[in-house]
Amino acid sequence: MMTEKADKIVLSILLLASIGALATAFTAQYVFDLEPCILCKYQRIPYFAVILFAGIGMYTEMADQAGTLKVVGVIFLLGAALAFYHSGVEQHWWEAATSCGSSGGEALTSFKNFVGQLMTKMPKRCDEVDWTLFGLSMTVYNTAATIGLAAVSFFGATVLKKYNTELE
């Protein structure tokens, strides 16, 4: 009984942290008009995945919570790798593999097509930093947050597995 509550507490913390991270990203985008690039949008995917897995792990009786925590930890590590990659693009350590900032539009075959491309809003470049706090961009904070959340996931899985083994 106690271990089930502890499993759900860790999953709940990770679920709430993911909701909070997405709420922060959407607030920055829609309230403060900070336009995200494609890599910024990709960094949201791990949080959605964690919400899905944590929700299923919390509300499915047959779910292995320790296993779910490990999966969530791997998802957070992948998110940290993506955020670190984006940070490197922002710092010009390497070029983005995506078409950040390029239109990728059609070939100019007519004047009408040319005018249409001029009227189309260009996507935001991935190496432009719109906002910093203490000289660090949101990608750096996202890298740190996802590494910390991965650590919480793996630590929680290890402690809960050890606790479950001692009960048997």
We report the CATH number of the domain holding residue 159 as 1.20.1550
Model pLDDT, residue 82: 94
Within a domain: 101: no
Within a domain: 62: yes
User: Taking every pair of C-alpha atoms in the chain, what is the biggest distance, in angstroms?
Assistant: 76
Burial of 18 (0-12, 13-18, 19+ CB in 10 A): buried
Within a domain: 103: no
Within a domain: 26: yes
Model pLDDT, residue 161: 72
Within a domain: 117: no
Count how many domains the chain has: 1
Tell me the backbone φ, ψ of residue 165, rounded to 5 degrees: -65, -40
Model pLDDT, residue 112: 73
Domain of 84, in residue numbers? 2-96+125-167
Q: What is the pLDDT of residues 69-119, one digit of tens each?
A: 999 999 999 999 999 998 988 888 887 776 676 555 556 677 777 676 666
Please state, rounded to an integer, the average pLDDT across all residues of the chain: 83
Is the pLDDT confidence value at 165 over 90?
A: no
